């Protein structure tokens, strides 16, 4: 199921670098989400978007920014990466708050 595609799958970077994680979907959904997953902390919402002109902060948006370039594309940026942003990042889409469809994740390591 490649309806929600994340790139890259893995990324290692250094503190202070700018990083962009990309997500694209073929589901035709308006709603897109970015989450990070940390051991013991579960899945936490970073940003979400209901359409191209709508961006909302989630639980932990500090240090992150997003861009909704099109209905199908939602990018997450770390302007200046820090080690505690090392995590597994997931993109997801949904149709009006119903079932979420997830990408396969991006493992980011900040050294």
Partner 1 sequence: AQRVTQPEKLLSVFKGAPVELKCNYSYSGSPELFWYVQYSRQRLQLLLRHISRESIKGFTADLNKGETSFHLKKPFAQEEDSAMYYCAPRGNKLVFGAGTILRVKS
Contact footprint for partner 1 (CB under 8 A): 1, 33, 35, 40-45, 48, 50, 56, 58-59, 90, 92, 94, 97-100, 102-105
Residues with Cβ within 8 Å of 30's Cβ and at least 6 positions away in sequence, in order, are: 50, 51, 71, 95, 96
* Closer residue to partner 1, CB minimum distance, 74 or 90: 90
Q: Is 100 helix (H, G, I), strand (E, B) or coil?
A: strand
Nearer to partner 1, 9 or 18 (CB): 9
The Cα 71–Cα 73 span in angstroms is 6
Toward partner 1, which CB reaches closer, 17 or 61? 61
Minimum separation from the CB atom of position 97 to partner 1 (A): 5
- Cβ proximity to partner 1: between 1 and 62 the closer is 1
Smallest gap from residue 79 Cβ to partner 1 (A): 24
Write the CA distances from 58 to 11, 43, 107, integer angstroms.
Answer: 23, 12, 20
Q: What are the beta bridge partners of residue 34?
A: 47, 91
């Amino acid at each position: 199921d490649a309806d929600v595609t994340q790139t890259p799958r893995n990324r290692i970077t250094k503190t202070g670098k700018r990083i962009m994680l990309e997500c694209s979907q073929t589901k035709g959904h308006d709603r897109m989400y970015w989450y990070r997953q940390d051991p013991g902390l579960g899945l936490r919402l970073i940003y979400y978007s209901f359409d191209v002109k709508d961006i909302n902060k989630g639980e932990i948006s500090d240090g992150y920014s997003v861009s909704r370039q099109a209905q199908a594309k939602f990018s997450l940026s770390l302007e200046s990466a820090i080690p505690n942003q090392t995590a597994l990042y997931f993109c997801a889409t949904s149709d009006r708050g119903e079932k979420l469809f997830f990408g396969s994740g991006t493992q980011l390591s900040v050294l």
